[in-house]
Chains A and B, each alone.
Chain A
Amino acid sequence: MTTLDEKSIYGPVTSWKTDFDHADPSYNENAHEIWSELRGTCPVAHTERYGGTWLPVTHDLVHEIAYDTEHFSSRGVVVATVKPSDLPDAIPAPIGGAPPITSDPPFHQDARRILLPAFSPKTIDLWEPEIRLLCRELIADMKAADVVDAATQFAQHIPVNVIARMLGFPPEDGAVFRGFVHDVLEAINLEPGKRAEAFMALDSYIAKQVQDHIDNPRDDLTNFLLNAKIYDQPLSLQHVGGSIILLLIAGIDTTWSAIGSSLWHLATNPVDRRRLVDNPALMPTAIEEFLRAYAPVTMARVVKDDYNFHGNEMKQNDWVLLPFPAANRDPEEFENADQVLIDREVNRHAAFGLGIHRCLGSNLARLELRVAVEEFLAAFPDFELAPDEVVKWSVGQIRGPRELPVRINARTL
């Protein structure tokens, strides 16, 4: 693992309204209460941290920014102590460092269309048997224990293994990928030089894998990108590497978080757990509700030029967080927004974002989430949070349990 020596450059949060820090460990742990409080007092919170960051918490405001590519750029999507504008060598808009997630129109659509077919529902559905087998192998490995960690022994391995297979990367490098994901998405409040070191390690790992695919071509997404064209030209190696960074980083702890949060819900809500065991046909509806209520992903944008957003004086290069999970809990948009109703049929949630940057991997994430929950419940129809153990939540823009010790009360084999 490449995990950094971690020391936040910021102190404790003094106010969620004027000094919030989404990398403060208490943020994700209390996210729903914090958003609810902010919604009632100011719908756009602000902090001087990270060089100036805004946090709108209503569905309407999140929706508006997601659609407004004129004032908000995707050039930076992870709020951190390093801004894209601080890096003279960073690839400028409209391409950005990890296309298409870091791209703006009009380039964005052309870069996105290269990858869309590989992640369309009909292509992704073919992966179901392999994902199911993977889940069963993970369950077999922990079958005998009374207490298992559903996050570290189960959820986290599923997206790591699947994306390694898709990219044609060594599956045994799973721990290395998780280290990179941690460095990029969780280690965001470090002294800027340390963050640059982590990115150099990631770039050099990807460059090595890409070179191996150039030397030994095979049928996987890496070689697909190496053969792909944009504007009748092969993609630059920079574009290929950036897209691989996107695929590697974006799919891992997002999906792991969604699986972990869903299992956390079932560990803490025995009525819902029994209902799903007795009525598996309810699963697709329940999965959408888990995605709404425990949406893991908050995106970010960079303010293009000074802009007055509903009375908030945003400055050029300020960060704006896009908390889709907060939008999903807005009572103006959802009835009983803070209740998790696994039979909620009308559920226009925004877990995978809104507008042109809709999560490219949403079909894969949804498939992994459904199969993981189905297989866990089939093997362990009764489980609860392990007494005397602590659930540890992530820090930063991706919200989910990083440690989820559960006690198994019934097993099917």
Chain B
Amino acid sequence: MKVQVDQSKCQGHNRCYAIAPELFDVDDMGNAFAIGDGVVEPHLAEKARLAVANCPEYAISIVE
């Protein structure tokens, strides 16, 4: 399971970074990106799903 942030959709709401700082970081402009290669350890799967479900811009997706 991997998370990815579509940079063309992210507007810097920072919901993902607040919910799952283990999976997402933000750049100097406040836009989010997946940490490392985006791989989600099993114990963080629920947080990954919440990050997807709370993004106002529908910018985050999960790739199985």
- The segment out of A11-19, A264-272, A347-355 that lies at the interface is A347-355
For A348, give its contact among B14, B18, B53 (CB under 8 Å): B53
- Smallest CB-CB separation from A358: which chain B residue? B11
* Count: A-B pairs, CB below 8 Å: 52
- Say if the beta carbon of B64 comes within 8 Å of chain A: no
- Say if the beta carbon of A232 comes within 8 Å of chain B: no
Interface size class for chain B? 10 to 19
Given known A348-B54, A349-B56, contact A358–B28 (CB-CB < 8 A):
no
| Chain A positions within 8 Å of B18 at CB level | 284
Secondary structure at the B interface, as helix, strand, loop or mixed, is loop
Q: Per-residue 0/1 for A355-373: is the Cβ within 8 Å of any B Cβ (1 yes, 0 no)?
A: 1101000110000000000
For A121, give its contact among B11, B17, B56 (CB under 8 Å): B17
Given known A284-B18, A362-B14, contact A354–B26 (CB-CB < 8 A):
no
Q: Are A355 and B11 in contact (CB under 8 A)?
A: yes
Which residues of A114-137 are within 8 A (CB) of B?
116-117, 119-122
Q: Are A119 and B55 in contact (CB under 8 A)?
A: no
Interface centre among A121, A288, A347 (most CB of B within 10 A): A121
For B30, give its contact among A346, A350, A363 (CB under 8 Å): A363
Given known A352-B13, A362-B13, contact A347–B28 (CB-CB < 8 A):
no
- Give CA–CA (A358, B57) in the complex, Å: 10
- Give CA–CA (A113, B30) in the complex, Å: 10
Q: Per-residue 0/1 for B7-24: is the Cβ within 8 Å of any A Cβ (1 yes, 0 no)?
A: 000011111011000000
Secondary structure at the A interface, as helix, strand, loop or mixed, is helix
Shortest CB distance B26–A (Å)? 6
- Say if the beta carbon of A345 comes within 8 Å of chain B: yes
- Say if the beta carbon of B44 comes within 8 Å of chain A: no
- Give CA–CA (A116, B10) in the complex, Å: 13
Shortest CB distance B22–A (Å)? 15
| Chain A positions within 8 Å of B57 at CB level | 354-355, 358
Q: Are B26 and A120 in contact (CB under 8 A)?
A: yes
| Chain A positions within 8 Å of B63 at CB level | none
Shortest CB distance A237–B (Å)? 25
- Give CA–CA (A363, B18) in the complex, Å: 10
- Give CA–CA (A122, B12) in the complex, Å: 12
Q: Are A358 and B12 in contact (CB under 8 A)?
A: yes
A interface vs B, CB < 8 Å? Answer: 113, 116-117, 119-122, 284, 288, 345-350, 352, 354-356, 358, 362-363
